[in-house]
Amino acid sequence: MERAYKYELLDKYIDQELSDKERQELDALMTEDEEFKEEVEVAVMMNASFNVEQKQRWAKLLEAEATKTSVQPSQPTKTSETDTDQKETKVRQLQPRTRWLRIAAMLLPAVFALFLYLFLANSSQTAPQMADHYLSNRHQAPTITMSQGNDLSQNWKTAIKAYQEEKYESAANLLEPLTNSTNATAEQHFYLGLTYLYKEKAEPVKAIQQFEKSQQLNPAQYSAEGNWYIALAHLKNDDWTKAKPLLEQIVANKDWKWQTAKEILEEQE
C-alpha cells in the first residue's frame, strides 16, 4: 500500500469521513505497523487539542458579538468616546487571533520534533536496527494441546511458557532437544527459530535453518510466515542482498506482511 494512501486514510479518519471498508483498512494497517499507529495517535491528539481551542475561540467571539448587540449605547457626544469604542472593538477582534497564534507557536516545535524524529528513525537505520524494530512486535505463542503426557510434551509446554514470559534463552534450551527428535514438528522448529531471533544475543543463521525446516515439514502453514522471518534474520545478519529477494517475493505474492515488506523496500531505495 502506497504511503500516500495511508496518510489519505489518516486524513479521512481525522475528518470522520472513512467508509466502513476504509476503516477496516486503517485498523489493519495500525495493527500491522506500530510506527504508523503511533502517528495516528499523535494526529488524533493534536486534532483534539485544536478542536478544543477552536471552540473556545468561537465561544468568545460569539460572546463578544452578543454583548455588542444587546447593549445599545447612546450616541457619543465626544470624539474621544468614539475613538475609545473603536479601540475596544479592535482589541476584541485581535485577542482571539493572537491567542490562536500563540497556540500555533506552542504546537509547532512539537510537530517539527515529531516529524524530525520519524525522518531520522527511517533514514538512519542500519539493517540490524531495522530488523530489531520489526522483531519488537513478538509473534504470538501457540496454543498448546497435550494429547500425550510424555516427557517431550511436557518439555514443549515448559518451552512455550518460557517463550510467553520472554525467557528466550531458556525456551531455546528446551526446544533444541525437541527439534532433534524424530517426532519434531514444524511448529517446534518455527518457534525455535523465533527464540534464536528474540534472544539477547541473537543467532540469525540458526534461526534461518529452523524456519526453513518448518517450511519443509509444513509448507502450507509456514511458507509465508517463514519467508518473512527469514528475511528479518538476513537483515539481522546485515545481509541486505539476501533479504531483498525474499521481501520482493513477499510483495509480489502479497503474502503475510507484504505491505510492511514493501515499505522496507521503499525505504532502502
The contacts of residue 60 (CB under 8 Å, 6+ apart) are 95, 96
Residues of the domain holding 65: 33-69+84-124
Q: What is the DSSP string of the chain?
A: --HHHHHHHHHHHHTT---HHHHHHHHHHHHH-HHHHHHHHHHHHHHHHHHHHHHHHHHHHHHHHHHHHH--PPPPSSHHHHHHHHHHHHHHHHHHHHHHHHHHHHHHHHHHHHHHHHHHHHHS--HHHHHHHHHTSPPPPPPP--S--SHHHHHHHHHHHHHHTT-HHHHHHHHHHHHTSTT--HHHHHHHHHHHHHSSS--HHHHHHHHHHHHHH-HHHHHHHHHHHHHHHHHHTT-HHHHHHHHHHHHHHT-TTHHHHHHHHHHT-
Confidence (pTM): 0.55
pLDDT value of position 153: 81
Same domain, yes or no, for 138 and 248? yes
- Answer whether residue 228 is part of any domain: yes
Question: Would residue 1 count as lying in a domain?
Answer: no
- Is the same domain home to 63 and 151? no
Q: What is the pLDDT of residue 91?
A: 45
Local confidence pLDDT in tens for the 269 residues of the chain: 566 777 777 777 777 777 888 788 878 888 888 887 877 777 777 666 555 555 566 556 656 656 655 555 545 545 555 555 555 554 444 455 455 555 555 666 666 666 655 555 545 579 999 999 999 999 999 887 655 445 568 899 999 999 999 999 999 999 999 999 988 999 999 999 999 999 999 999 999 999 999 999 999 999 999 999 999 999 999 999 999 999 999 999 999 999 999 999 998 87
- Note whether 178 and 98 are same-domain residues: no
- Is 2 inside any structural domain? no
The sign one gets for the Cα dihedral 258, 263, 264, 266 is positive
User: What confidence score (pLDDT) does residue 22 get?
Assistant: 79
Domain co-membership, 62 together with 164 = no
| Residues 186 and 111 occupy one common structural domain | no
Is 259 found in the same domain as 179?
A: yes
Task: Judge if 173 and 202 occupy the same domain.
Answer: yes
What pLDDT is recorded for position 69?
A: 55
Q: Which residue has the cell 516427557?
A: 151
Q: Look at residue 254 and tell me if it is in a domain.
A: yes
> Based on the domain organization, do 166 and 94 belong to the same domain?
no
CATH of the domain at 250: 1.25.40.10
Same domain, 175 and 213: yes
Q: Would you say residue 59 lies in a domain?
A: yes
Residue 10 lies in a domain: no
Q: Are residues 92 and 170 in the same domain?
A: no
> Does 118 share its domain with 142?
no
Which residue do the cell numbers 531455546 mark?
Answer: 172
What pLDDT sits at residue 261?
95
Q: 149-205: per-residue pLDDT in tens?
A: 455 688 999 999 999 999 999 999 999 999 999 889 999 999 999 999 999 999 999
Establish if 143 belongs to a structural domain: yes
Verify that 193 and 218 share a domain, yes or no.
yes
pLDDT at 94: 42
Q: What is the count of structural domains for the chain?
A: 2
6 Cβ contact partners less than 8 Å away, ≥ 6 residues apart: 29, 36
Query: Residue 26 falls within a domain, yes or no?
Result: no
CA 231 vs. chain centroid, Å, equals 20
